Chain A
């Protein structure tokens, strides 16, 4: 069940919140786990087999790693085996999803695989101890707000919150507000951009305008979908008394690809840095080896996003761009903000094509069109969508900037007036989000299979 579905937003959410607030303290974690199982197993309880297997495996391996703390070699072997095994299952599941019809994708698998591996690597590197209470580990792996793309938390941090967290009216109100904002980002903005993107993706050759509009609509769609989900997760977390980290921080108009990615899916890149790059390619290694680690890390992030080979290529491209900036461009860009911004925007638009193209030939065709070698400068289709959606695209770009964030933060500060219109604005947003859900096509899936 997706958080942006009617089943969740309209039916389950009020029931869950109501029960949660009236249950005695000691039952709360158990209740959250039950809700998580319901959300993950919705539609097909058999899907729960995957998380159940992952949980048992991680729990047992965690205890084993704890016991073998002093024996590094066997512990490393067990850890390597776990990583390979879980990655293999993830790849298999994604492959099955592509070739089999009617395959019910166990959603969230990419997320709980990462969380589980992070947990095991954490024990191996003595960041935290192995969990002895399976319920706590289960809740960490399957905490339902983060089922689609996070934010990913550290086990040590999450466990602290599992045992002691504050429940307050302020938390509930802030949580609801954050959830509503996230929902609006997803169903109002992301879904509209998805519609524009899908309408513009015609089999016929594109004009330059259409190609740029397509990639722009896609990048905005992906951003607002992931950002919206992360905000919904943070909001739900707050309602239950958890404090989850921010996952996106207005990346658009960043002056370099490096700066852009520092604000893009932050907890994910942090996870790969902590558990992959700093683990295997740490500071003591040679410089060339560390650079290789950077490129490989982004390749892995790309592969985590999706199973098509273009995703891997996207990741490696990003890694190479980062390397290029670090070695050559950084001093040049730092002094020229506008040039840096334009360069980042344009280069990334070209990179996004890899994520949505059917294959490399398709991607090449879109790139050609973007450079003006396609079906002319503008065609009827492009002009129609440009005139219909320019206002919304500009609004989306504005919302994706720091400017908007600063204004909203200033407006949301507590005060006499805010106490009146802040609830009203959020109520309006909730109604408009419900209207958008009802108006749009049915929720049948999200772009990334995570």
Chain B
């Protein structure tokens, strides 16, 4: 009798769990993500793998289960969730040393550009937060080193190219809020500090910090590292907007993707709708575009060609105070075709600004 009750309960518990999971999976069904079988993929094993991935990503109660596992791992002794170190203060991405190009290979794209165009060029490699806050990583944590690597790449640069030592600027400011706690990017303030050095190298006087009015867009920003780990034990971030009263104003924003007609974003540099989405950092430069042309009411004849990754997004507003036009080329979207994206003869200066990790990923 006792035994029978036990067996009934066992079956009942399992059935209940299955009902919850399956109902959750059905409710969260994403028709666009569900793999469509074709004759070919049915027979070469591809569809089976796609289906498995779909179930893994869209299983009912996905987030709860993910947190259950990652929190247990942390309890047992693991200090990392999906390649992200968890510390009391912040989430720090583990930097890999594998598959990185040599210093000469990493320097080549900028050198080629400079020798081919002769445009005054400035180069900024931004270290990751994991490098700046290396001392706060868990004991013995393995992390690829970036500061020497940046120096090595800089030493390979053509002598005419001006390199900005972002590592020193940022590491001297590390007590300040220069990197997000839950996102790989730097904050506006981090970007401002490096902007000051970079813009001087490009022959301008930086706009003083005091002239900016800072407002909080959100105090509940959880960035890409949070999305990877779903770890909410770290304080949420603050997303700031730096505005300037009597500065240059934007007159036109054009976004180009492929050969199609540009999307006219009128004078909207910022993307308000991103604040309602999961990826609030998109606020700064809107949805990624291969090429973005931003014009201002400045009439100084200075035009900047900017090759960048996501780190530049929150620096562009600072740069706009000095140029009548900036052409922003997203290296992460165009990759090796970067040279064909704009006509350098139309511009007076060029800036390459990229994080060290995405620079390695781009040319590795």
Contact = CB atoms under 8 A, between A and B. Distances in A.
Interface of A: 1, 5-7, 10-11, 14, 42-46, 102, 104, 169-170, 172-174, 176-177, 180, 380-381, 383-384, 387-392, 414-416, 418-420, 422-424, 426-427, 430-432, 434-439, 442-444
A419 B55 contact: no
Interface string B46-65: 01110111011001001001
A43 B25 contact: no
Interface of B: 2-14, 16-18, 21-22, 25, 42-45, 47-49, 51-53, 55-56, 59, 62, 65-66, 68-70, 72, 76-80, 82, 138-142
Given A384-B141, A419-B2, A439-B69, A10 B10 contact: no
A108 B18 CA distance: 28
Nearest to A389: B77
A172 B6 contact: no
B52 A5 contact: yes
Contacts of A102: 44
A384 B140 contact: yes
B53 A415 contact: no
A431 B60 CA distance: 11
Contacts of A415: 2
B52 A420 contact: no
A384 B9 contact: no
A43 B49 contact: yes
Question: What's the dominant secondary structure at chain B's contact region?
Answer: helix
Given A6-B52, A6-B55, A380 B13 contact: no
Given A173-B7, A434-B21, A439-B69, A380 B142 contact: yes
B25 A439 contact: no
Given A6-B55, A442-B53, A387 B139 contact: yes
Contact of B9 (A44, A423, A434): A423
Nearest to A11: B55
A173 B12 CA distance: 9
B66 A430 contact: no
Contact of A173 (B11, B62, B68, B138): B11
A389 B74 CA distance: 10
A439 B70 contact: yes
A169 B4 contact: yes
A387 B10 contact: no
B21 A414 contact: no
B14 A430 contact: yes
Given A381-B142, A424-B13, A427-B13, A7 B6 contact: no
B144 to A, nearest CB: 13
B183 to A, nearest CB: 21
A10 B8 contact: no
A419 B142 contact: no
A46 B48 contact: no
B44 A438 contact: no
